[in-house]
Amino acid sequence: MRNSLWKSDIGNLLVLRNVDPETVADVLGNCPVITLELGQVLLRTGQINQSLYLILSGQLAVFLDYPEGVPVALLEQGETVGELSVIDDSPVAAFVVAQQETRVLEVDEKSFWRMISVSHAFACNMLLLLSDRLRSSDETILKNVRLRKRFQRDAMVDSLTGLYNRRWLDFQLPRLIGRHVQGGVPMCAIMFDIDHFKVFNDRYSHDIGDDVLAMVAKTTMLSIRPTDLSARYGGEEFVVLLAGVGIDLAWIVAERLRRAIESEKIVIEDGTELPSVTISLGIAEVRNDDSADSVLKRADTAMYRAKNTGRNRTCREQ
């Protein structure tokens, strides 16, 4: 780290308050400064982390569940993150994501423990920081409970399938599109529905139809990556969002999903096996000028072309 950079930033770091500048320069002088772009993930749940991060500028958000949810904490300039996993070698317990362009000083495990051993002030500051975290833990838990209840009230999850619902999609898709366009990363939307589902419902009952919807949702989740997102758009229509995927790879994913659902057996309570269901899929790739409505409209148009040309097939946007 350059001395000029250090002098301009040291005064904002709470954990280095009252620490001898020469000690800081000696121990941390070669630690790298990392610049995070908007939406870039610094730490993720389950990750093995061996670094303490000191926030020089910008803002980081902490998410307990997924990085597109509601943050449980915001970390500002001068604060730290990652210290607990360095101290006890436990996996990271939350996602930490940049909310704007953010600069952090990465302090490796060796440098961290050296600072603890050579600087009483640093050790005290770290102890005070951890104490504050413990005192606020009850408040954080209560806040998280309130946030979860709010999501339940807002019904962001479809109760039948366990997938996100249309309201969640309307809220999140514009943000996801903006993030991927800004980052220059490809993204595709797959829209599909169950072929002749009304006929299936009328013949076998709506209860069995509900079982089929749940089966389609489960098969969808097993056919995509954990980082991909899926939602029940309405009725028997579903949407899958593929991050970092171009249209050629999206077609492969769609075909894998189509074959998986077609091969899934449907057995009712008396042991009778019913005919399998099929789906028709349409794919659209996000463009730089896209809105949520425009990309879903193209995917929907491609889906109806699949239905009009025989069903049980995948079509790309034209």
- Point out the residues that are catalytic: 236
Cα dihedral 11/13/17/20 (nearest 10): -70
Q: How far, in Å, CA of 192 to CA of 207, rounded? A: 21
306 token code pair? 């699949």
Element (H, E) at 39: none
Compute CA 213 distance to the chain's CA centroid, rounded to the nearest angstrom. Answer: 24
Which candidate, 274, 271, 258, 261, places its Cα nearest to that of 199? 274
Please answer whether residues 50 and 154 qualify as being in contact, where contact means their C-beta atoms are separated by less than 8 angstroms: no
Q: How far, in Å, CA of 72 to CA of 147, rounded? A: 8
Element (H, E) at 128: helix 120-135
Element (H, E) at 164: none
Compute CA 238 distance to the chain's CA centroid, rounded to the nearest angstrom. Answer: 19
Q: How far, in Å, CA of 203 to CA of 212, rounded? A: 13
For 259, phi and psi rounded to 5 degrees?
A: -65, -35
Element (H, E) at 272: none
Compute CA 143 distance to the chain's CA centroid, rounded to the nearest angstrom. Answer: 20
Please answer whether residues 244 and 229 qualify as being in contact, where contact means their C-beta atoms are separated by less than 8 angstroms: no
Q: What is the DSSP letter of 54?
A: E
Maximum distance among all alpha carbons in the chain? 80
